[in-house]
Structure 1
């Protein structure tokens, strides 16, 4: 590949200036020795090899950047790989790409060379496109949902322990005070859910998408209930059952490795769904809420806790984007209005709605800091590519929650009896 200025060819740095403009807020260094962008910027992005350039050329935008970064072909000099928040903030603040003049395109294409347009192999951390995932079944079939959950959650329990902290809770925390720690905020979140559900000793709780069993254990320990949690992650279920046994709760707590649709028990007093709705698929919401409504007794409550869109148009996750390919294959987000409407249309009376958007921004910042503090151990445990994916994902999530590009809503519904009795107090009793 030619990267010299002879014969009218541009260096990589000069091509970058044509595409980004010379006032882009970073300095670009390339493996051909050229430089582009702001020469005096403290933020330095380096394309380390030809493969990195090919990722950028064959998938312009966030996916190409992610591929090059995850593979280590694009590096951020001076940036913390576990917490690239400051760098991503610069990228989100600016409209970086500008369209070169048509007269310049032939020179740009000639300078890059034909080999630059040959797609490299995909990083092993990237899920295959949705059309290729049809071999696992139709979108949101039990088999395909299981594969999607396996891709994200069955990384390594040890890795998650280092990133999430002792609570092993991979959902939005709720910070009771400005100075509260992550662990205090996660415990407070579980307690808030328990109070919204009106849990009392002797009640039965079903927790769908239970993760490592945090809600199950909290409810059994502190509210005296009997709880069943279900997850599609075999590693989560194994970890949770071991922890339940160690805590002496196995007479009243169980985490089962199964699809929530295979739960046969009914008559539960309460259902909690914390971070599962994102995996369900919007078209499946009616069946999802109908099924969970059928698991409850009359007067039973359901708390749905989910990442949401700031509007009710579309599914919120770009097909082929970074999140869809690296973090949540087949994931979909709806606005809270869609969730509320679907719950209402499938039997629930809505009693309370709350947005915890700012709390999730704090939660993901705390996870980034944990990843950064344990970077070397996380890389040894899960590989540098996975660790880089997590740094990008969590830092980017923090920014998007802060800027109201995504939200987090808890919606509380009640199964009202045929006589109209919701078994609900005249006013809320959960202290919010």
Structure 2
């Protein structure tokens, strides 16, 4: 067994350090590359740290980022684990492996261990985006070039990969489950229909769908509500897939799926605008300009439905630049509370008419996406590579846990471009049902 000698002559193994940090009663079995081990052999979860590089990742980025690096590089092994749906593992770690507070007597020994171990900086996994500072060389945050690059990183994995993950709907936003036993496809259909009902779409109306993804909202509104619609996405993969489907179903004369920046949409005079899952990408500081632009696209009395992930408070906007989500999933993404969204909309002249939280629905949606990924794991790995598939497994399972435990939420905010005479276009009570 390899040990490290500190200046007082005492020794500490990696297993000893683990026990100091997480306490002697942690119900996890931990084994390290130096031959040390701790925790009950019969524990339901075994962690194996296979190399010094893995420990270096943990010490140089002591957060979810360091854990992700070690896991993706194969330096940290968790058993048993369903890599397509590691929800049970993440929940168990959260509930049973919280860092304890070392005693004053233990702190100096831990400090000597970390100092004498001399952690090194290693190459990061290729799936990780550069730090916020390094990305500045590619343009300012939420400039057009940076936005296009961020969307490419997340959405242009491959359309086949997303088909395996999302299922036939190809809808990558929170579904709305009409019943607890509804399927994912039923719930996605209900989501699009709920948005249409809230916007009170009718034949002959014109809809603008910004951040349209693979065109699910455009298709549903054209097919079931008789509107003409424009959808726009920064992802070339999404636009090509969506446009091909519209053409195949004979809907392309009324539904136009475009590749481009929503800010480049020249048309105006829309009866309704839907924004489903785009606000997370534009940056909290850009909300005023965003809602001002969308309001300018609407006719008087027109409606906007904004659907996006939110925080449960309005105190901490943004996503930490060192976190797993920012570096692996949503580069330059940002969240804040629904109150900030409502404020920004109202400050740009919208009258907010309805506001609801669909948090539990997103927990169920990510659960079903995780189940799809697990069921199609071999095909997903063959399509996108092992590490990309692992990133998605962690991301979806972690998101489910965060929605369940109210660390993040999903809000729909419905608003009107009310006229100067106070005509909102709304009746006395909501007409769209539950």
Q: SS in structure 2 opposite 1:80?
A: coil
**Aligned equivalent of 2:199:** 197
Within the candidate set 114, 120, 123, 2:122 is matched to 120
Q: SS in structure 1 opposite 2:128?
A: coil
Question: Which stretch of the first structure deviates more once superposed, 68-77 or 263-272?
Answer: 68-77
Distance in 2 separating the partners of 1:231 and 1:254? 11
Give the superposition deviation at 1:105.
5.5
**Aligned equivalent of 1:253:** 255
**Aligned equivalent of 2:158:** 156
Distance in 2 separating the partners of 1:89 and 1:109? 29
**Aligned equivalent of 2:13:** 11
Q: Are residues 1:303 and 2:305 paired?
A: yes
Aligned residues between the structures: 432
The answer to whether the 8 Å contact 1:25/1:90 transfers is no
Q: SS in structure 1 opposite 2:132?
A: coil
The answer to whether the 8 Å contact 2:283/2:318 transfers is no
Long gaps (5+) in structure 2: none
Distance in 2 separating the partners of 1:116 and 1:71? 20
**Aligned equivalent of 1:273:** 275
**Aligned equivalent of 1:129:** 131
Q: Are residues 1:63 and 2:65 paired?
A: yes
Runs of 4 or more consecutive aligned structure 1 residues displaced over 4 Å after TM superposition: 4-7, 101-116
TM-score (norm 2): 0.95
Q: SS in structure 2 opposite 1:254?
A: strand
Taking the TM superposition and a 5 Å limit, the aligned residue runs for 1:106-255 are 107-108=109-110, 117-255=119-257
Q: SS in structure 2 opposite 1:206?
A: strand
Q: SS in structure 2 opposite 1:404?
A: coil
Distance in 1 separating the partners of 2:21 and 2:420? 64
Give the superposition deviation at 1:54.
1.4
Q: SS in structure 2 opposite 1:117?
A: coil
Q: SS in structure 1 opposite 2:232?
A: strand
Q: Are residues 1:409 and 2:411 paired?
A: yes
Q: Are residues 1:391 and 2:361 paired?
A: no
Question: Which stretch of the first structure deviates more once superposed, 334-343 or 288-297?
Answer: 334-343
Long gaps (5+) in structure 1: none
The answer to whether the 8 Å contact 2:239/2:257 transfers is yes
Distance in 1 separating the partners of 2:289 and 2:39? 52
Distance in 2 separating the partners of 1:389 and 1:66? 8
Distance in 2 separating the partners of 1:116 and 1:380? 38
Taking the TM superposition and a 5 Å limit, the aligned residue runs for 1:255-404 are 255-404=257-406
Distance in 2 separating the partners of 1:113 and 1:12? 13
TM-score (norm 1): 0.96
**Aligned equivalent of 1:79:** 81
